[in-house]
């Protein structure tokens, strides 16, 4: 909300539904593959670790991060952060 404003929340919730569906379908395809389950855990864990690390570093940036107090729905970092947080607990 600090990046995109409260008016973007309904749109972000709708977008996150489609993102979660995509992540679940990829996860299910990988479950059906010959990849061992513990390696799948490491793949998703590493992916989300790197994703949240990049998001946390970008949130500290003066132009696109939290120090910029201007709220706009065009701030992509807010959308990425919301959708990432909404689907990281799935797998």
The domains of the chain are located at: 6-87
Which pLDDT score is estimated for 91?
54
Render pLDDT for 4-56 as a digit per residue (tens, 0 to 9).
998 999 999 999 999 999 999 999 999 999 889 999 999 989 999 999 999 99
Q: How confident is the model at residue 90 (pLDDT cuts 50, 70, 90)?
A: low
C-alpha angle 21/85/58, rounded to 5°?
125
Q: What is the pLDDT of residue 88?
A: 80
Does residue 55 contact residue 77 with C-beta atoms inside 8 Å?
yes
d(CA 36, CA 57) in angstroms, rounded, equals: 32
Confidence of residue 82 (pLDDT cuts 50, 70, 90): very high
């Amino acid at each position: 909300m600090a990046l995109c404003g409260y008016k973007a929340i309904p749109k972000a919730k709708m977008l996150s539904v489609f993102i979660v569906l995509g992540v679940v379908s990829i996860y299910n395809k990988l479950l059906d593959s010959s990849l061992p389950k513990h390696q799948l855990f490491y793949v998703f864990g590493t992916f989300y670790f790197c994703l949240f690390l990049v998001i946390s570093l970008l949130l500290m940036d003066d132009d696109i991060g939290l120090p910029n107090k201007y709220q706009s729905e065009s701030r992509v970092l807010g959308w990425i952060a919301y959708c990432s947080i909404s689907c990281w607990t799935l797998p």
